[in-house]
Structure 1
Amino acid sequence: MADRAGYDQPENKHISNYPTSREGTLPSYQAIGTQQQTGFVQPSVPYQSTHVVSHQPHPVRTVVIQTRPPDYLVSSVWACLFCFFPTGLFAIYYASRANTLANEGHYEEARRKSIIARNLLISSFVLGCICIITVTAILL
């Protein structure tokens, strides 16, 4: 065994315990019906093909639907009339600008203007409530 491997190996005492294969019998691990055919030779291919066929998936088309930003124009007008008119005027301006940009198709910029209009609307409502409470407390 050492002469076949090219370097010295210790003798394996367990190898002699394995059964030897007998001609014409199947090994225990090979099931019946899975034997190789005797005398079968695979036909050779007459030419070597260098073409590689690859099927790639078609590009997926993605449609992005952007929704129109919320309209705060009516709320801004009410906040301007009944709450705190300086911030209400700016809220009307930004809400109007958001509507104009949305009609032109610039949804991202319209969304930014709409958020500014919403924040001004909220601040107008809060400042209006503070003013009304302060004036009422002073007059009473």
Structure 2
Amino acid sequence: MDSSHNCCNNHNSELGDIGFVPPPPPYWSLSSQDGHKDIPSVPPYDSQGYYPPPDYSGFYSQGSLPAPNVINAQPAIIVTQPYSGYPVPQDYLAFSIVTMLFCCLPLGIAALIYSVQTRDAISYGNLEEAQRKSLISRNLNISALVFGIAIIAVVIILQFTVVIYHT
């Protein structure tokens, strides 16, 4: 086998036994044939050793580009009204609070819960559910009011009968 064609077995006396290392590519001359330099060999540094900033004055000149039309707009908020086929039901919230405080606490709390659920259904746009919850809230409020008035009437009647009975 011929050793001149095998690149791995080619030994160079300067490189030792490290194998074949090709020579580096030739350097390009920085000067032209007539002697003056086309490319400066050392870039121009300022006094602190930094490159000067590039000159973009020809590329970005004042007046060469029209001023951009910038429009800053806020996103549009679209408010939709609920379906007008059904009237928006009442939530009876104030009536629920009054009956809860002054008439009958358990029925008033239940009426208050249904009143809040009525408001939630209206805000979600579910008017059928809101109508149903509103009707339940109204019936609970009326029941609490009647129950509270009946209890107050019974207490008053018992007070008068006790007073009349003892005299």
- TM class by shorter chain equals 0.5 to 0.7
Partner of 1:75: 95
Cα-Cα RMSD: 1.4
Distance 2:84 2:98 in 1: 34
1:115 to 135, 154, 160: 135
For structure 1, list consecutive stretches of 5 or more residues without a partner in the other structure.
Answer: 1-62
Q: Distance in 2 between matches of 1:102 and 1:68?
A: 7
User: Aligned residues: percent identity?
Assistant: 37
Give me the whole-angstrom Cα distance separating, in 2, the residues matched to 1:91 and 1:122.
Answer: 9
Output the CA distance in 2 between the equivalents of 1:92 and 1:130.
Answer: 21
* Bigger relative contact order (CA 8 A; separation at least 6): 1
Corresponding letter in the other structure for 1:101: A
More helix by share: 1
Work out whether 1:101 is the aligned partner of 2:127. Answer: no
Match of 1:47 in 2: none
Bigger radius of gyration: 2
- TM-score (norm. length: structure 2): 0.45
Q: Secondary structure at 1:125's aligned position in 2?
A: helix
2:85 is aligned, of 40, 49, 65, to 65
Query: Match for 1:80: what amino acid?
Result: M
Letter in 1 for 2:147: L
Letter in 2 for 1:114: S
Are positions 1:85 and 2:98 aligned together? no
TM-score by length of 1: 0.53
Name the CA distance, whole Å, in 2 between partners of 1:129 and 1:85.
13
Structure 1 outlier segments of 4+, above 2 Å: 63-67
Provide the secondary structure at the position in 1 that maps to 2:139. Answer: helix
CA deviations over 1:50-80 (Å, ceiling 9, x no partner): xxxxxxxxxxxxx853321112001110011
